[in-house]
Structure 1
Amino acid sequence: MTASPIHVLLLHGLWMRGFAMAMLHRRLREEGFQVHQFEYMSVAAPPEQAIARLRKRIRALAPGPVHVVGHSLGGVLALLACRDDDLPEGRIVCLGSPLSGSGAARGLTHRWGGDMLLGRSKELLEHGLDRWDGRREVGVIAGRQPMGLGSLVGDVGIEHDGTVGVEETRLPGLTAHCVLETSHTGMLVSADVARQAALFLREGRFDA
């Protein structure tokens, strides 16, 4: 009897499309996961629309485990979609996600055109979440290679990945958190990030 496939859904971040996750997709597939892209409109549509679609997609991949890996805004949406207990089991990995709110987003709203750039995701990015109290284990990978424009438009703290501060990726209730030498967009092509993400999906921990 063959074992049920272990599914992984990948969520891109703000202003991106699914192809941005192509390298991570390939690496996780090489780790033995059955990987799927989840595309959504990050600016023009309200986050609630993406959350409802994501929940439906997770249910469609049941009955085996369905993990979710989200980059930046995608990680925030993953947590919101998986807060309730009526979904298949699985873990969540957030990559450079401003779970407690984004200083860069708050800074951008005070600049001309900032509201338009953030679109319907503005409030979610500005404020983030208070804590994680869902039943899924959540691991967060943050970067500390300061290459990006986010630090020029808002306060992201001393240690950051160029877009999101390390402290902005922390949230009460997380299972594990690690910091790697990578930038915000560099996470998507980093072999170290892919390896740590795969380890957490399998074992619920990062390699110290």
Structure 2
Amino acid sequence: MPAPSRVILVHGLWTWPLSMEPLARRLRAGGFVVGHFGYRTVREDGAGAVARLVERIDRDGPVALVGHSMGGLLALRAAAERCATVPRIVCLASPLHGSPTAAALARLPGGVRLLGHAAENLARTAAAPGRCEVGMVAGCSGRGLGRVLRRFDGVHDGTVALEETRAEWLADHCVVAASHSGILFSREAAACCAAFLRHGRFGSA
């Protein structure tokens, strides 16, 4: 499959497009043409955000998608509708089987309001987006809000457990020494992301 030169970055919960800029700069240095997709993570329902992302894909495609956490889940849903023009997706620390951390937050007073529409997005089990190649970069530095909200068994990034990032339909999976938010600043994560976008595997230089 030809390597896409254009990439759209999709941010995660409670953040904004510029939160992905450290990663964007590294991808641009690697020769990619990088753009951002923004959405209201709490106030905008998932269907609406996905529809707007599909419109962006139609305008800019063929294009690869890179999504952080919930952004990866939205990217998978959009790509399922436009698989012919989204050859590859990289998810960064996205919970593919629903988010126990978000569920724990929703049970606290005020938690439902803090999550808004994100509660529904983070409760979904992700599905393979057709023929698109999907890679997952997960973190293993357990620092983050999730440690306050829930008990983790095994390796985690402070918000998402390593096992929550695995699925049999992934083309490849790798783990970097970064926390859930820190993965956006990780040189290693950016290098893995670039390798997958070029080759469909993380082990390629």
- With normalisation by structure 2, the TM-score equals 0.93
Residues 111 and 49 of structure 1: CA distance in aligned 2, closer, same or farther (over 3 Å): same
Unaligned runs of 5+ in 1: none
- For 2:192 and 2:4, the matched residues in 1 are separated by 20
Confirm or deny that 1:154 pairs with 2:150.
yes
Aligned residue-pair number: 202
Q: Which runs of 4+ in 1 moved over 6 A?
A: none
- For 1:86 and 1:168, the matched residues in 2 are separated by 24
Unaligned runs of 5+ in 2: none
Secondary structure, in 3 states, of the residue corresponding to 1:82? helix
User: Match of 1:30, as an amino acid?
Assistant: A
- For 1:13 and 1:117, the matched residues in 2 are separated by 14
Do 1:106 and 1:154's aligned partners in 2 also have CA atoms closer than 8 Å? no
- For 1:86 and 1:200, the matched residues in 2 are separated by 17
After TM superposition, give the deviation of residue 133 of structure 1 in Å.
4.6
- For 2:163 and 2:128, the matched residues in 1 are separated by 15
Aligned counterpart, 2:19: 20
- For 2:144 and 2:15, the matched residues in 1 are separated by 15
After TM superposition, give the deviation of residue 59 of structure 1 in Å.
1.1
After TM superposition, give the deviation of residue 157 of structure 1 in Å.
3.2
CA RMSD in angstroms, aligned pairs only:
1.7
Residues 145 and 176 of structure 1: CA distance in aligned 2, closer, same or farther (over 3 Å): same
Aligned counterpart, 1:81: 78
Residues 192 and 93 of structure 1: CA distance in aligned 2, closer, same or farther (over 3 Å): same
Do 1:107 and 1:154's aligned partners in 2 also have CA atoms closer than 8 Å? yes
- With normalisation by structure 1, the TM-score equals 0.92
Aligned counterpart, 1:108: 105
Aligned counterpart, 1:39: 38
**Alignment counterpart, residue 95 of structure 1, candidates 84, 87, 92:** 92
After TM superposition, give the deviation of residue 182 of structure 1 in Å.
0.7
Aligned counterpart, 2:115: 118
Aligned counterpart, 1:6: 5
Residues 50 and 41 of structure 1: CA distance in aligned 2, closer, same or farther (over 3 Å): same
